[in-house]
A and B are shown apart, each in its own frame.
Chain A
C-alpha cells in the first residue's frame, strides 16, 4: 500500500511568519511531487510541482525534495490569512500519472 504521510495539524502561525509543511512517502519509485491547496468545500488547487532533489521557489512558496529521505516539504514565507487552508501533498504512482494524496495539513494564519 503506497502511503503519503502528513501531519494533520492544525498548524497555526502568525501573519508574516514562515509556515513549514512536511510530507513523507513510501514508494521510492515515485518521481513527481506536488503540493495542492484546498479551501474548505473546494477542489484542490496546484501550488507547486517538484521533480528533482533540492529546492524550487515560486514567489512566497518553496518546495524542497529529498528523495533519499523520501521527504517533501513546502515553505510559505510571509504567511497571509488568505493562506489559511488545507495543504495536500501528492505523489505519483511510478509509471503512471495517477496521484496518491496525503490527508493534508490544516494551516491557520493568525492576523
Chain B
C-alpha cells in the first residue's frame, strides 16, 4: 500500500529557530496538504498545494510559514521563527482526486 512518508518523526527546536518538515507524498497524487494537531485539540488545516503553487491556506498559515516542492518528490513545510505555540503534530497528506486523504505518520514538533 502506497504511503506518505514524513521526516523527522520528532523535532525539538529552540524558540526563534527555523525548522523544515519534510514529506514525500504518494507518487501519482496531485494535491498535497499540511495539517497540524496541537495536543488534545482538533486537526487543523494549514495549506494545500496543487500544480506547484498554494491553492488554499488558513489563517494559521501566516508569513512565518512557507511550503515548497523543491524536486518533484519532496514537499516541505518551513517555519521561519518558531514560537512555543507552534508545538504540535504536523501531518502531511496527499490525494489523487476528491477522495479521502492519505496522511503521513506525522512529525511531532516541540519548541522549547
Q: Which residues of A contact B (CB under 8 A)?
A: 32, 34, 36, 42-46, 49, 88, 90, 93, 96-104
Contact = CB atoms under 8 A, between A and B. Distances in A.
Interface stretch (B67-75, B76-84, B99-107): B99-107
A102 B43 CA distance: 8
A101 B44 contact: yes
Contacts of A103: 41-42
A98 B43 contact: no
B65 interface: no
A96 B98 CA distance: 9
Contacts of A101: 42-44
Interface residues of B, number: 23
A45 B33 CA distance: 15
A98 B99 contact: no
A34 B35 CA distance: 16
Contacts of B31: 97
Interface string B27-51: 0000101000000011111001000
A34 B45 CA distance: 15
Nearest to B50: A97
Nearest to A45: B103
Nearest to A43: B103
